[in-house]
Amino acid sequence: MRTREECSEHDEGDPLAMLRHEFILPEGQIYLDGNSLGPVTTSAQRRVRQVVDHEWGDGLVRSWNTAGWMDAPLTIGNRLAPLIGAGDGEVLVADTLTFLLAKIIGGALEIRRTRHVIITDEVNFHSDLYIVAGMAKMAGRDIVVKTIDRNRLSEHLDDDVALVMLTHVDFRTGEMLDMSGITAAVHAVGALMLWDFAHSTGAVPLDVTSADVDFAAGCGYKYLNGGPGAPAFVYVAPRWQGVLRNPLPGWLGHARPFAFESTYESATGMRAYLTSSPSVIALGALDGALDVFERTTMTMIREKSLALTDLFIDLVEQALPDVFEVVTPREHDRRGSQVALRHDQGYGVVQALAERGVVGDFRAPDICRFGFAPLYLRYVDVYDAVQILVDVMMSYAHLDERHAVRRAVT
């Protein structure tokens, strides 16, 4: 694929092409930021309206029973489970990602109560680093958080390690880690493994069961398109359910929330990891957003994702040799669904692109990040985006002084 015509032919033969119509996409935009906030689908829109107008509007408080609100964190978890290779009763949708990480970290430290070390990646997402440090402080005993170079993980694994927490697809570079291999190495020293799937879920095929993962958690608002601030999800392997305690207990995780008992007794199964009332409207949006995933497979999504990212990398290298450093690995088994281009004026590049309708994002200090969501992106979109990038670089639009001032969200 080198010409726009060839890209267009690929779109005609694309088995996912029809799914683009499920999304509400603003005219004249090429949206390469679905890894940060996925777009709205008509199903999500419909489901939210149904929740607001009928379940809440007509049903009022009765809907807690009649509309399945109390079970929504579990039923939506069951819908999401196949995307990560989990089964029924193994995934819960609740809170947001950082809170779910906190629950797992706190619980895991109790399970491995004689061990003192948590290992994480020095370039992990900052929220992951903050929460792991915060939970270590609250453990009630001395816990050392080692933030390491993940390529040297094996040097740090020993029998004092309680938990290893890694993000499966690096949020900056798009590098994907070897989930099975790392999980096995962590288990070999008796430690527990927590995977952050923020940039993996809905983007790459995942199989927590075959990889023997202990715990995983991810966002609802990135590739899953669940809406801004959407609830997150957590996976707890069946062997740890009933063993892993929720360190943030609340009434919704109680065995009998409406008995109003003054002492806590954990619910069984994944319900144990609930704390407070489910955010019903937000759950509706995520529920609706999952419809589109049931019309395809992660294998098909992955095939197109690799084709899109290959195309983007090839076109950029061909048109702009030596302008950008392609930070994302070329090997398919080490790549998520995004491409990161390094450039000293990366912020200006991303701003100038946005002015021309190509929406990516910038991750400090120097990464232009482009997410490729196969459900709604076309090959011609990739082609056009690169032409616009060429135009920006050739006209030095990225150096315009308007782009010198950074906004709050980059």
Of the residues 221, 293, 312, 362, which is catalytic? 221
Q: Is residue 97 within the footprint of ligand PLP (CB under 6 A)?
A: yes
Q: Which of these, 143, 69, 138, lies nearest to 103 by C-alpha position?
A: 138
197 labelled catalytic: no
Q: Is residue 167 within the footprint of ligand PLP (CB under 6 A)?
A: yes
369 labelled catalytic: yes
Applying CB under 6 A, among 115, 199, 271, 343 the residue interacting with ligand PLP is 199
Q: Which lies closer to ligand PLP via its Cβ, residue 47 or residue 199?
A: 199
260 labelled catalytic: no
Q: Which lies closer to ligand PLP via its Cβ, residue 7 or residue 219?
A: 219
Stretch near ligand PLP under the rule CB under 6 A, chosen from 94-102, 269-277, 363-371, 376-384: 94-102
Q: Which lies closer to ligand PLP via its Cβ, residue 128 or residue 366?
A: 128
Copy the structure tokens of residue 27: 């005219």
Stretch near ligand PLP under the rule CB under 6 A, chosen from 61-69, 84-92, 113-121, 125-133: 125-133
196 labelled catalytic: yes
Question: Which helix H or strand E contains 317, and what residues bound it?
Answer: helix 298-319
Q: Compute and round to an integer the Cα radius of gyration of the chain.
A: 22
Place of tokens 């829109």: 45
Distances in Å between the alpha carbon of 293 and those of 4, 22, 138, 296, 299?
A: 28, 11, 39, 6, 11
Question: Which helix H or strand E contains 47, and what residues bound it?
Answer: helix 42-50
Applying CB under 6 A, among 23, 31, 69, 125 the residue interacting with ligand PLP is 125
115 near 162, Cβ under 8 Å? yes
Q: Is residue 147 within the footprint of ligand PLP (CB under 6 A)?
A: no
Q: Which of these, 332, 90, 85, lies nearest to 206 by C-alpha position?
A: 85
Cα-Cα-Cα-Cα dihedral of 316, 322, 323, 324, to 10°?
70
Q: Is residue 273 within the footprint of ligand PLP (CB under 6 A)?
A: no
Of the residues 369, 376, 378, 383, which is catalytic? 369
Interacting residues toward ligand PLP by CB under 6 A: 96-98, 125, 127-128, 167, 171, 196, 198-199, 219, 232
Catalytic residue positions, numbered: 125, 196, 221-222, 369
